[in-house]
């Protein structure tokens, strides 16, 4: 039976009949012996990983999610012609068919105060706020023609991470680990790291939810200091031996409960307990950066107060890739600059630019970039007009939300590096070349992992769901 058809079994009795397994074996199928892999995604009691639909280019994903929407016009999509119109009303040709509830027709053009420079053999242009990312220009593919369907943060972040602005759907990392399992025995297959500045992430944990998929596919949030996961360590007076004995007793009780109910979610619970036990040993070692060289620590900016939080997360992401974690997502917020954009943008770039480039350099020199897909971007972009809701105080200008055209970049496994894909008009308002929708990006990410986005489905409430809903096409221009 195809592992992606397991959820179509009509009832619990059919499950036990068709697989011919004892109740206890079915409950623990690929859980206690499956090295942390999914019972719903494995093919047999051997605990083998499910096979991709075709040969993959990438084994792992690191998604650097810039929550709040960075301003593409000030970072990676230069529009020098806007300086001629700076402070003047937006040309009527741009707004005559305006389909943007957040932009008023009285808005004025806001040319970027940043300077841009060409980098590498590709001549890719980046702002003076991103010199380090500029240094990896020949290792990345820059997309200047992304677009999405919504212009509010939480729905936009759900759209990028879950394929829909609605609550309750599985996140991309959950879909990936459901489809491929995890090669890591002692750590979750899907890990989330945050380095926000105290303002939080609009979408919160809904962005790494398992939705209607079994709970073992939910993203597990790690901290980069102290206990990696809250309450992971044993309380005082509880030894590893007593913890093991307690866990065995709980597992036996859960097996009895499975026999009574046939509820496979209990199997996910057993898997979570077993994973937590193994993580008690593996996770502290993951956070022990003492064996990393001084050169590596500087590469990620761990020697600087400003870059240390995001740099630590980037270094941990590399260490997780080395250990086989399938999907790692780093969140940095917030880039939502409705005012004082120039100042705030500089702060966020200072925090993230060096560590991001350090991650790419490190993955490349270790031979890990060949199998690792790295993605950088937010939920949408920013307008070419000055933010008008909060006044027009000189030096305090900001930009509003802009879903119609923005920039992201990708690097690593299967990506055609050193190129720019897509283009926007002279004001960066509309796409004029090779539009790429969020669903197209998601389809391409799954494709690089060896998954057909139309076949990776899960039946829920009478219909087959997938990450890309009923849309999306693989973008061949991005691929080698």
CB 185 within 8 A of CB 278: yes
Q: 403-453: per-residue pLDDT in tens? A: 999 999 999 999 999 999 999 999 999 999 999 999 999 999 999 999 999
* Cα 5 to Cα 10, 41, 53, 79, distances in angstroms: 11, 9, 14, 50
* Residue 200 neighbours by CB distance under 10 Å: 13
Enter the tokens of residue 83.
Answer: 């300086």
Q: Report the half-sphere exposure of 324 (CA within 13 A, side-chain side).
A: 14
60 within a domain of the structure (yes/no)? yes
Domain range for residue 111? 49-233+294-478
Q: Is 385 helix (H, G, I), strand (E, B) or coil?
A: strand
Q: Is 416 helix (H, G, I), strand (E, B) or coil?
A: coil
Rounded to an integer, what distance in angstroms lies between the CA atom of residue 21 and that of residue 476? 44
42 within a domain of the structure (yes/no)? no
CATH classification of the domain holding 84: 3.40.720.10
Report the candidate in 345, 348, 352 with the shortest Cα–Cα distance to residue 398: 345
Q: 303-319: per-residue pLDDT in tens? A: 999 999 999 999 999 99
Rounded to an integer, what distance in angstroms lies between the CA atom of residue 148 and that of residue 404? 6
Report the Cα 284 to chain-centroid distance in Å: 23
Report the candidate in 397, 441, 376, 427 with the shortest Cα–Cα distance to residue 140: 376
284 within a domain of the structure (yes/no)? no
pLDDT of residue 257: 74
Taken in order 334, 337, 343, 345, the sign of the CA dihedral is positive
Indicate if the pLDDT at residue 215 is higher than 90: no
Quote helix, strand, coil % in the chain, to nearest 5: 35, 15, 50
For 200: left if phi > 0, alpha if psi spans -120 to 50, otherwise beta; the answer is left
Rounded to an integer, what distance in angstroms lies between the CA atom of residue 77 and that of residue 405? 10
CB 276 within 8 A of CB 37: no
205 within a domain of the structure (yes/no)? yes
Return the DSSP state at 208.
Answer: G
Report the candidate in 318, 430, 409 with the shortest Cα–Cα distance to residue 91: 430
134-143, 159-168, 192-201, 407-416: range with lowest mean pLDDT: 192-201
320 within a domain of the structure (yes/no)? yes
User: What radius of gyration, in Å, describes the C-alpha atoms of the chain?
Assistant: 23
267 within a domain of the structure (yes/no)? no
pLDDT of residue 16: 39
Rounded to an integer, what distance in angstroms lies between the CA atom of residue 207 and that of residue 219? 9
3 within a domain of the structure (yes/no)? no
* Residue 406 neighbours by CB distance under 10 Å: 29
Enter the tokens of residue 293.
Answer: 């060289």
Rounded to an integer, what distance in angstroms lies between the CA atom of residue 293 and that of residue 31? 36
CB 389 within 8 A of CB 338: yes
CB 356 within 8 A of CB 314: yes
Rounded to an integer, what distance in angstroms lies between the CA atom of residue 160 and that of residue 248? 40
Q: Partners of 408 in the beta sheet?
A: 143
Report the candidate in 405, 342, 419 with the shortest Cα–Cα distance to residue 377: 405
Indicate if the pLDDT at residue 27 is higher than 60: no
Q: 414-427: per-residue pLDDT in tens? A: 999 999 999 999 99
pLDDT of residue 25: 37
93-102, 214-223, 352-361, 447-456: range with lowest mean pLDDT: 93-102
Count how many domains the chain has. 1
**b/e 117-153 (16+ beta carbons within 10 angstroms → b):** eebbebebbbbebbebbbbbbebbbbbbbbbbebbbb
355 within a domain of the structure (yes/no)? yes
pTM of the model: 0.84
Q: Mean pLDDT of all residues in the chain?
A: 84
- Beta strand spans in 342-449 (E): 372-377, 381-382, 401-402, 406-412, 419-421, 423-424, 431-433, 436-437
pLDDT of residue 388: 64
Residue 257's Cβ-count burial label (10 Å; 0-12, 13-18, 19+) is: middle
Q: What is the DSSP string of 296-328?
A: HHHHTTTTSTTTHHHHHHHHHHHHHHHTT-SEE
Indicate if the pLDDT at residue 43 is higher than 60: no
Indicate if the pLDDT at residue 30 is higher than 70: no
Report the Cα 353 to chain-centroid distance in Å: 17
């Amino acid at each position: 039976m195809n592992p992606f058809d397991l959820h179509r079994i009509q009832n619990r009795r059919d499950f036990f009949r068709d697989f011919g397994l004892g109740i206890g074996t079915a409950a623990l199928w690929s859980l206690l012996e499956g090295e942390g892999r999914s019972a719903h995604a494995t093919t047999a009691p051997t605990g083998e990983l499910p096979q991709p639909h075709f040969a993959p280019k990438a084994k792992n994903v690191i998604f650097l999610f810039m929550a709040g929407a960075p301003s593409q016009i000030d970072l990676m999509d230069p529009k020098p012609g806007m300086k001629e119109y700076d402070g003047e009303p937006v040309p009527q040709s741009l707004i005559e068919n305006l389909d943007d509830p957040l932009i008023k027709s009285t808005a004025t053009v806001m040319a970027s105060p940043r300077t841009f420079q060409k980098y590498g053999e590709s001549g890719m242009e980046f702002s003076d706020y991103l010199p380090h990312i500029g240094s990896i220009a020949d290792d990345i593919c820059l997309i200047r023609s992304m677009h999405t369907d919504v212009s509010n943060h939480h729905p936009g972040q759900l759209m990028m991470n879950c394929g829909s602005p609605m609550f309750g759907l599985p996140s991309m990392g959950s879909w990936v680990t459901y489809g491929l399992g995890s090669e890591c025995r002692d750590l979750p297959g899907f890990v989330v790291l945050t380095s926000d500045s105290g303002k939080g992430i609009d979408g919160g944990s809904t962005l790494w939810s398992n939705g209607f998929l079994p709970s073992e596919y939910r993203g597990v949030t790690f901290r980069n200091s102290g206990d990696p996961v809250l309450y992971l360590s044993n309380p005082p007076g509880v030894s590893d031996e007593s913890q093991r004995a307690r866990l065995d007793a709980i597992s036996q009780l859960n097996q009895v409960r499975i026999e009574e109910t046939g509820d496979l979610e209990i199997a996910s619970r057993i898997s979570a307990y077993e994973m937590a036990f193994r993580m008690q040993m593996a996770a502290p070692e993951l956070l022990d950066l003492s064996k990393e060289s001084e050169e590596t620590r500087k590469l990620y900016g761990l020697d600087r107060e400003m870059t240390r939080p995001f740099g630590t997360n980037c270094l941990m992401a590399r260490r997780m890739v080395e250990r086989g974690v399938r999907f790692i997502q780093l969140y940095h917020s917030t880039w939502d600059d409705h005012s004082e954009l120039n100042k705030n943008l500089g702060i966020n770039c200072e925090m993230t630019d060096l560590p991001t480039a350090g991650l790419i350099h490190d993955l490349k020199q270790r031979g890990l970039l060949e199998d690792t897909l790295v993605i950088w971007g937010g939920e949408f972009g920013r307008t070419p007009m000055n933010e008008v809701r909060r006044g027009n105080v000189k030096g305090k200008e900001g930009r509003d939300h802009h879903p119609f055209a923005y920039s992201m970049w990708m690097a690593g496994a299967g990506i055609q590096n050193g190129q720019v894909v897509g283009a926007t008009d002279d004001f960066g308002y509309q796409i004029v070349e090779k539009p790429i929708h969020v669903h197209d990006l998601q389809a391409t990410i799954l494709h690089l992992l060896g998954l057909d986005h139309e076949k990776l489905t899960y039946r829920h409430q009478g219909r087959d769901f997938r990450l890309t809903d009923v849309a999306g096409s693989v973008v061949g221009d991005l691929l080698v």
